[in-house]
Structure 1
Amino acid sequence: MIVVPERIIAGLMTRADAFAAIEAVFAAMARGEARNFPVVREAIGHADALYGFKSGFDRAHLDLGLKSGGYWPGNAAKGLTNHQSTVVLFDADTGRCRALVGGNLLTALRTAAAAAVSVAHLARKDSRVLGIVGAGHQAAFQLRAVAEQRPFERVVAWNRSPEKLKGLACAAEEMGLPFESVSLDRLGAEADVIVTITSSFDAILGDAQVRPGTHLACMGTDTRDKKEVDPTLVARASVFTDEVAQAVTIGECQHAVALGLKGEADIVPLGAVINGDHPGRASEEEVTLFDGTGVGLQDLAVASRVVDLAVQKGLATQVEF
């Protein structure tokens, strides 16, 4: 069995690698060659923790396995990351354990890559202003990955606590992009692409705040009752997603569907656009929205890639198991 510890992943996995892995697995899903299995997510009744696992099988790339982990809110006080996860890969031909991979950084990279893939395939080519809603752990990953997909000239951002935007400002500066903390009204009025990456249960961005032609990547809603944007905005937009079944149950689409504003048949897998089976954006005035719910196949794709990189560079640890 191969072990790839968390501490070496930052030196192995690039944003380009993550983008390619996620684009390929979305395409495989749309072709019916990859399938996610039912998600388990439970409060364990200890340490206020949420625990779960996501799993699946990609026949196109023979990636089989699961990501296990969750959220331990007391970890920060212990000097640990609150979100903890590990990916286990299995040999699709024999069922033997192939690899054990640290999943914390990979989770952030694969989530950002999904937003980036949506921007690459759905945002207007002339997009120049990037808007970010949220300033949590994943926000800077989102900014860096998405900013590479269009010739952005500046970044505008909003967070409930504006002082927490410093990390985003530094990330923008690293990429040579002017950065400004703005109101939600200004963000919606100026941004060509908007990424929402929060854990909100109340809509932050309203329909009237978003101008025609905007592309939104809604990346924070991955649990029942979470909500980042108003359902009427979802209803107005042409909606794409990683997996339709998750979008209508735990994704941003859940509320619009429950209110009868959007039907399941109206939601398009992003992989269909990647494969050329759907045209994607139909006009410069169209509002497009990517509902990124996060699927297990994403984790398997990036974990498999980092295992290959570790083996190629002689950094993989082989363990008898």
Structure 2
Amino acid sequence: MRIVPEAIIKDHISREDSFEAVEQVFASMAARSAYNFPVIREAIGHADALYGFKSGFDRNALNLGLKSGGYWPGNSEKGLTNHQSTVFLFDADTGKCSAIVGGNLLTALRTAAAAAVSVAHLARKDAEVLGIVGAGHQASFQLRAVAEQRDFKKVVAWNRSPEKLATLEQVARELGLPFEAVSVEDLCAQSDVIVTITSSFDAIIHSDQVRPGTHIACMGTDTKGKQEVDAALVARSSVFTDEIAQSTTIGEAQHAVAIGSLSEAAIVELGAVINGAHPGRGSADEVTLFDGTGVGLQDLAVAATVVERASKAGAAIDVDF
């Protein structure tokens, strides 16, 4: 068995690697050669923590395993990342545990890659203004990954605590992009692409604020009750997702489906666009929305990439297990 500690993950995977791994996962899921197992996510009744498992199997890549982890809100006071996770990979032929991989950075990279893949396949080619809603740990990863997909001229951003936008501004300037902190209304009025990455349980963006032709990547809703955009905007949009079952139950589409303004049949797997089975964006005025709920197969794909790269570099730790 090989162990790849969290501390060396950054040396053995890039944003490009993550994009390719996640894009392939979407394609494999749509082709029904890869599938996710039911998600387990529970409040453990200690430290206000949410803990769970995401797992699956990709028959093409032979990636079998799970990500175990969750959210510990008090970790920041201890100098730790609030989101903590570890990926376990198993040999598909024998069932033996083949690798244990630090999952914190990988989760951030694969989440950002999923949004980037949606922008690559659904956003207008002439998109120039990128809007970011939220300024938590994940926001910078989103900005770096999505900014590579179009020739953006400007970044606008909003956060409930405006002072936290300083980190995003620094990243934007590193990318050579002008940055502006704005209101939600102004962000929607300017943006061609909007990425939401919050933990909100109340809609932040409303349908009447979003102009035609916008692509929205909703990346924060992954639990029953969470909501970043209103149901009217979801119903108005052409909705794409990583996995339909999660989209309708724990994703952004859950609210529109619950009130009957969006049918499950209207939601399209992003992998179908990648595979060419669905045309994706139909017009320059169409509002497209990617409901990124996060699936275990993404974690397995990026973890497998890291194990391969770290092993070749002699950096993985071999353990007789």
Q: What interval of TM-score do these two structures reach, taking the shorter chain for normalisation?
A: over 0.9
Q: For 1:112, what is the secondary structure of its paired residue?
A: helix
**Structure 1 residue 137 displacement after superposition:** 0.5
Equivalence for 1:286: 286
Confirm whether residue 260 of structure 1 aligns to residue 293 of structure 2. Answer: no
Q: Structure 1 runs of 4+ off > 4 angstroms?
A: none
Q: For 2:48, what is the secondary structure of its paired residue?
A: coil
Q: Give the residue type in structure 1 aligned to 2:38.
A: P
Equivalence for 2:31: 31
Equivalence for 1:160: 160
Normalising by structure 1, what TM-score? Answer: 0.99
**Structure 1 residue 11 displacement after superposition:** 1.5
Confirm whether residue 193 of structure 1 aligns to residue 193 of structure 2. Answer: yes
Equivalence for 1:77: 77
Residues 192-211 of structure 1: matches in 2 within 5 Å?
192-211=192-211
Q: Give the residue type in structure 1 aligned to 2:157.
A: A
**Structure 1 residue 142 displacement after superposition:** 0.2
Is 305-314 or 192-201 further displaced after alignment? 305-314
Give the distance between the partners of 1:178 and 1:310, measured in 2 at CA.
36
Q: For 1:110, what is the secondary structure of its paired residue?
A: helix
Equivalence for 1:9: 9
1:238-297 Cα distance to aligned partner (Å, 9 max, x none)? 000000000000000000000100000000000000000000000000000000000100
Give the distance between the partners of 1:73 and 1:281, measured in 2 at CA.
38
1:66-104 Cα distance to aligned partner (Å, 9 max, x none)? 000111122122211111100000000111111000000
**Structure 1 residue 59 displacement after superposition:** 0.4
Give the distance between the partners of 2:46 and 2:186, measured in 1 at CA.
42
Confirm whether residue 150 of structure 1 aligns to residue 150 of structure 2. Answer: yes
Equivalence for 1:100: 100
**Structure 1 residue 164 displacement after superposition:** 0.5
Equivalence for 2:297: 297
Q: Give the residue type in structure 1 aligned to 2:151.
A: P
Q: Percent identity at matched positions?
A: 74
Q: For 1:51, what is the secondary structure of its paired residue?
A: strand
**Structure 1 residue 308 displacement after superposition:** 0.8
Q: For 1:290, what is the secondary structure of its paired residue?
A: strand
Residues 189-268 of structure 1: matches in 2 within 5 Å?
189-268=189-268
Cα-Cα RMSD:
0.6
Normalising by structure 2, what TM-score? Answer: 0.99
1:154-179 Cα distance to aligned partner (Å, 9 max, x none)? 10001111111011001101110000
**Structure 1 residue 44 displacement after superposition:** 1.1
**Structure 1 residue 45 displacement after superposition:** 1.4
Corresponding residue pairs, total: 321
Q: Give the residue type in structure 2 aligned to 1:74.
A: G
Residues 103-182 of structure 1: matches in 2 within 5 Å?
103-182=103-182
Give the distance between the partners of 2:107 and 2:88, measured in 1 at CA.
14
Q: Which segments of 5 or more consecutive residues in structure 2 lack a partner in the other structure?
A: none
**Structure 1 residue 148 displacement after superposition:** 0.0
Give the distance between the partners of 2:82 and 2:186, measured in 1 at CA.
32
1:290-316 Cα distance to aligned partner (Å, 9 max, x none)? 000001001001100111110122211
**Structure 1 residue 180 displacement after superposition:** 0.3
Q: Give the residue type in structure 2 aligned to 1:303.
A: A
Give the distance between the partners of 1:126 and 1:149, measured in 2 at CA.
11
Confirm whether residue 49 of structure 1 aligns to residue 49 of structure 2. Answer: yes
Q: Give the residue type in structure 2 aligned to 1:128.
A: E
